[in-house]
Structure 1
Amino acid sequence: MSNTEKPLYSIKDISRLSGVSIATLSRYFNGQSIRLSNEEKVKKVLEETGYRPSIAARFMKGSSSGVIGLIVPEINHPFFAMIAEGVMQEARSKGQLVLCGSSAGSIDIERQVIDQFSQSILDGLIYIPVAKAENLPAIENFRNLPLVITARKNIIKGVPHIYHDGEKGGYLSTRYLIQLGRKRIGFIASFWDPPCANTELLSFMEQPASNTFSSVDRFRGYVKALKEANIPYDPDLVVVTGYGHKSGVDAATSLIGRFSGCNGIIAMTQAVANGCASQFKRQGYTIPSDISIILFDANESKADYTFTSIELHLIEMGRESVRSLNGLIEGKPVSSICLDVELCVRDTTAILKHT
């Protein structure tokens, strides 16, 4: 071991160095009262060693807290809020409590939340990472804790993932717009932290790191449908942006400014679709006759239009995540699950009438 490396301590080491039993340490780490002299010994050793207890060290074998963790990129975002609702419904039906944390779309905050959760009393963790291919937070403190990744795929090897068939969603939405006679279809790719520009998205799609992004997964379906219909791919019809209303406004402004001739739009969220539609309307375009719009998982209660959408069944995704996590907690083999999607036709798509 080099001089710069810190020694790794186990719970047994802390027991030996402090002179207290593992059972006493377990009570201390769980917030239970122990003899004051023992508490002082433990604190002294923890300060000297820098030891931070992992979840695995918190419980005696076979014990359970009845609490599971949920980490989401943004709790106020409708997409994640619906998943969280499903998680809580299923957990409640099993008599479990849910400790929820938000990373606010930030890798740094996400790392802090993971660190805080690693010091909490959890039986397992449902984790929706900020979809960034590089610098994913280390989760070493959860190495021995049951873990499920939700709404993403191929994030952490050997961990079950619960995700939707994003490629199918991108394909169904693009194919439907083509069937309506629309061949200039804009794709608005939303990211918390964009990995590339619109001109690079096609090549980025071929990189292994792209698998962590739901927007890229949907983009694959978009490209597949265009190719199937012999429609040339045009990067000017692709906009890389964020997730909010302003992102949609900016995306529509970009498409108009590029003179792209866009007559169809695929948006990742309702907020983006609302912003996009409002900007097109301000510029004199009519929805859906001039420009038809399809989004992923519409929430009609907050929609400016009754959008045609790819339905994702987010509450069921949350419930399925808890079922998988409980399978891991019970020691059962659990595989990744790809949930199906379907196209729901509403008012924002129409046949293109040629003049």
Structure 2
Amino acid sequence: MRKVTVQDVAALAGVSPATVSRVLNGGSVKEDLASRTYAAIETLGYEIKTKKKHNISREHAFIGVIVPDISSPFYSEIVSGILKEALLYQYEVIIKSSEGSQYKEKECLEQLSHLPLHALIYYPMATIDYLYEIDIYKQIAIVIGGRENISTPFSHVYFNNEKAGYLATKYLTKLGKKRIYYLGPIHELEKPITSIQELLSLEEEPNKGFYVSLKRLEGYKKALSEENIPFDLELVSLCGYTWQDGYEAARAIITKMLDVDAIIAVNDMVATGMLKFLKEQGIRIPEDLSIIGYDNRSIAEISEPPLTTIDQNAYELGRECVLSAMKQLQEHKIESRSLDINLVIRHSTAATNL
């Protein structure tokens, strides 16, 4: 079988070979181009070879990476960070996308198990039981990315989602907001958790760290409690991740006539979809209603108005996962690391006029 080349990847992604090269070396590339490039890499099975930066003598080895959606700008940034850091340690990186399927996730684990892996960086859907079924994963460094402390034998690197929910809510209360709608992300399962009651039932589960929605909600509830604002289930729901999901969520919120004065959205894309619907209804942002997004993607800066948002550095998350894997390999150190987040204040939020 003919070996897949950079030119093949470029042709499938609809980009230039130079763009593919920049992506592979962790260079600056527009989000959509990087996403298309990573999707082509995964589709074609292109093996990413990193350049040698250290004179380390050891056998040829790989870092395996499994993410839920390689075409997602969020995960493509994570992969860029992984590639950049792996470059320093002479590892080849093999990327697999589970495409939001637990079955495909298991298939990815089986495929990677046939390679001489030294480490696996794994962003699981809802269970890591498959890891225990394959012998190689008992012998190599494992880093669970994006999930909080779901299994003690492995290292974890994740964002502080509770703090994110807290910061967003606390800021809105300081602006005088009392009716703050929390729109959490539907957990990425083949059978998604779509009701807030179902999500709340998981609060005592040992693996609740899987659920980003739940951690953000804990921060939301804490901030409300500190301001003596009662928690109201009517002001909480779950949503998908797209612009259209945001548009429809805004329609549902307005239809319920809940007298909302602020919304915390799933991500920046959802927030921009909400902005579109609300403007169509003559609702002014931020004069009538404030909105906060998540991720601090480029769309947050160019939306109208520019979005106040939670900044999560996906690129840094990827880098830190590699560093955590190296600590396991070199120091036999298992760690749990929470990466900090920040609130970026722009023009989609404003104080309530009393």
TM-score range relative to shorter protein: 0.7 to 0.9
Query: 1:21 maps to what in 2?
Result: none
Q: Distance in 2 between matches of 1:293 and 1:147?
A: 38
CA positional deviation for 1:331: 4.4
Query: 2:53 maps to what in 1?
Result: none
1:211-263, CA deviations, whole angstroms, 9 ceiling, x for partnerless residues? 21112111110011111111111112112122112221222122112211112
Query: 2:334 maps to what in 1?
Result: 334
Query: 1:123 maps to what in 2?
Result: 118
Are the structure 2 counterparts of residues 209 and 66 from structure 1 closer, same or farther at C-alpha, using a change threshold of 3 Å? closer
Question: Please, which moves more after superposition, 327-336 or 146-155?
Answer: 327-336
SS in structure 2 opposite 1:319? helix
Q: Distance in 1 between matches of 2:74 and 2:317?
A: 11
Structure 1 stretches of 4+ moved >4 Å:
none
Query: 1:197 maps to what in 2?
Result: 195
Give runs of aligned pairs for residues 232-251 of structure 1, distance below 5 A: 232-251=230-249
Q: Which amino acid aligns with 1:325?
A: A
Matching residue within 93, 98, 104 for 1:103? 98
The normalised TM-score by structure 1 is: 0.77
Are the structure 2 counterparts of residues 261 and 111 from structure 1 closer, same or farther at C-alpha, using a change threshold of 3 Å? same
Query: 1:113 maps to what in 2?
Result: 108
Give runs of aligned pairs for residues 311-330 of structure 1, distance below 5 A: 311-330=311-330
| Structure 1: gaps (5+ residues) | 1-61
Are the structure 2 counterparts of residues 244 and 156 from structure 1 closer, same or farther at C-alpha, using a change threshold of 3 Å? same
CA positional deviation for 1:335: 1.2
Query: 1:173 maps to what in 2?
Result: 168
The normalised TM-score by structure 2 is: 0.77
Kindly indicate whether the alpha-carbon contact (under 8 Å) linking 1:114 and 1:139 is maintained by their aligned counterparts in 2. Answer: no
Query: 1:55 maps to what in 2?
Result: none
Q: Distance in 1 between matches of 2:223 and 2:201?
A: 17
Query: 1:304 maps to what in 2?
Result: 303
Kindly indicate whether the alpha-carbon contact (under 8 Å) linking 1:288 and 1:348 is maintained by their aligned counterparts in 2. Answer: yes
CA positional deviation for 1:120: 2.2
SS in structure 2 opposite 1:256? helix
1:254-301, CA deviations, whole angstroms, 9 ceiling, x for partnerless residues? 211221111211122222111122122222211122221112221124
1:80 correspondence with 2:75: yes
Kindly indicate whether the alpha-carbon contact (under 8 Å) linking 1:64 and 1:123 is maintained by their aligned counterparts in 2. Answer: no
Percent of aligned pairs with the same residue?
A: 36
1:286-336, CA deviations, whole angstroms, 9 ceiling, x for partnerless residues? 112222111222112475242111112221111111011112222431311
Q: Distance in 2 between matches of 1:232 and 1:224?
A: 10
**Higher radius of gyration, 1 or 2:** 1
CA positional deviation for 1:81: 1.5
Q: Distance in 2 between matches of 1:144 and 1:179?
A: 50
1:84-141, CA deviations, whole angstroms, 9 ceiling, x for partnerless residues? 11111101122222111111111111111111111223211100112x2x68544432
Q: Which amino acid aligns with 1:144?
A: Q
Query: 2:133 maps to what in 1?
Result: 140
Q: Which amino acid aligns with 2:170?
A: R
Kindly indicate whether the alpha-carbon contact (under 8 Å) linking 2:182 and 2:263 is maintained by their aligned counterparts in 1. Answer: yes
- The total of aligned residue pairs comes to 291
Query: 1:349 maps to what in 2?
Result: 349
Are the structure 2 counterparts of residues 207 and 227 from structure 1 closer, same or farther at C-alpha, using a change threshold of 3 Å? farther
Q: Distance in 1 between matches of 2:120 and 2:303?
A: 36
Q: Which amino acid aligns with 1:273?
A: A
